[in-house]
Structure 1
């Protein structure tokens, strides 16, 4: 077919498609982040440059924000409410949960705004839409690394020693958290392109996430109040609860050299000790990711019109 003078654009032949040519608008779906790694890297660099443009501290904010958050919670709850008396190494316990909810909040919030925040790119040129929430997730992981280093240093000061158990718990918790949050993020990103109210609901969820999981308090306190009820099981099946407890296993629960009595405390035990309901977390995360991928794929061709 002719390509000029109002004629139709020539579609790639089967031989060209076999060599990697694709017709405009055709892509690899949920595999786009793997196949378009170069574009993904460009988007990640763009996100980082935009975020710290004109900033004097730059990446140091990745340390400052969680540090201030930790100090406020530790003074208010650990000192004033004296939770540090009943919880050995409360500083490690607290920061183990804070890094979880911070990563959850950043991935969830950034992924939700990833399509609307890149309106100029989405509406004017063709790019695989999946790259935008995935770039947001990678940027969040970049900010997560400094917090993880601080957590490791704090745990070592309290006598923590790395082990196969702690490594497995950390890896499992991180996988559950990222897969679950990306699933939620793709759902809300698709909905937010049509209804801007969605990002406000996400902000509310992120705001209360710290209190919906055992970040500031011991899970045994929740069991004392609602144990044996359906609310107790729903609380335990909250993926954030599962991930926070896995991080406690990884960095706090096994620190006996400097914190005597931590591992022996019976109130720390839970179903399937030491990894609790990890299988439920993986199942819920996988189903959420599948649902988010399907909804995002069905919605992405309307993004340009909705924006």
Structure 2
């Protein structure tokens, strides 16, 4: 039946249908697609979780097991054998607050990079806003991140940590920088990986290097002593991931009772740049990376089906 016969034409939506939430199929809102397609985004997140833990005995418990093993290995090798725990009060909290950051960075960056190639059947056969795939992997990573934060909070409380407005603000700033940075890098990685599969191997290398080039297992003062006030020091200090790790240290470690007591005898524990460090540099850098990632992804997504 045609529009002349009284029925709406194909592809058009009447005012009544718009009022009920209907819209023309295939509309593209760019990087805002995850907000407009929240139902589809939830379905993809559920699919990712089901696929990841299909046939697994432990299931979501792996969110606890993996970081726990990583923490134990680092604590024994670096804290006990190399003696880094001697100069750092509450070293366990210091170490684990950095581990959760690099774990989230690595999972979001890596999974976003593989999100398009990993959903090849969906991308090439049906229409779905491509932005949903990296965003769904980011939300899945946050689901795994939550148990680690809960463990970190419990550990910090055992070492005399008391929640405060400063700690809460540091955590929020750190999360904002980390999510913007990793999503920007992840969208760039996803766009490039659709054409060049070598990109995901580079991402794995970057993640490995980032773990050691951030103050996760050692104090920033050690880097300062080694590099002095050189350009390399400032490049290290203004690295967004370094800034995020230090913000997490402020949120969960710096105001524990053991650290506060030790600060009276060791002034090096007091950050010279303040409790929030160079947060504004990290936030501006992360926002710029996110903007570049959104543009690169937007310009590349029309070729995904052909490249896959």
Question: What is the TM-score with the length of structure 2 in the denominator?
Answer: 0.93
Q: Give 1:22's aligned residue.
A: 24
Deviation by residue 1:18-72 (Cα, 9 ceiling, x = unmatched): 6653253x31111111110000000000000000000000000000000000000
Deviation by residue 1:162-189 (Cα, 9 ceiling, x = unmatched): 0000000011101100111000000000
Shift of 1:271: 4.8
Shift of 1:274: 1.0
Q: Give 1:276's aligned residue.
A: 277
C-alpha contact (below 8 Å) 2:253/2:259 kept by paired residues: no
C-alpha contact (below 8 Å) 2:89/2:258 kept by paired residues: no
C-alpha contact (below 8 Å) 1:108/1:184 kept by paired residues: yes
Distance 2:291 2:150 in 1: 31
Shift of 1:266: 2.2
Shift of 1:257: 5.6
Instruction: For 1:1-307, list aligned pairs within 5 A.
Output: 10-12=10-12, 20-24=22-26, 26-256=27-257, 260-262=261-263, 265-307=266-308
Distance 2:62 2:261 in 1: 35
Structure 1: runs of 5+ lacking an equivalent: 4-8
C-alpha contact (below 8 Å) 1:254/1:263 kept by paired residues: no
Q: How many residues align?
A: 301
Distance 2:295 2:15 in 1: 30
Shift of 1:207: 1.2
SS class of match (2:261): coil
Shift of 1:265: 3.2
Distance 1:84 1:130 in 2: 43
Moved more, 39-48 or 257-266: 257-266
Pairwise CA RMSD of aligned residues? 1.9
Distance 1:183 1:94 in 2: 26
Structure 2: runs of 5+ lacking an equivalent: 4-8
Distance 2:189 2:15 in 1: 39
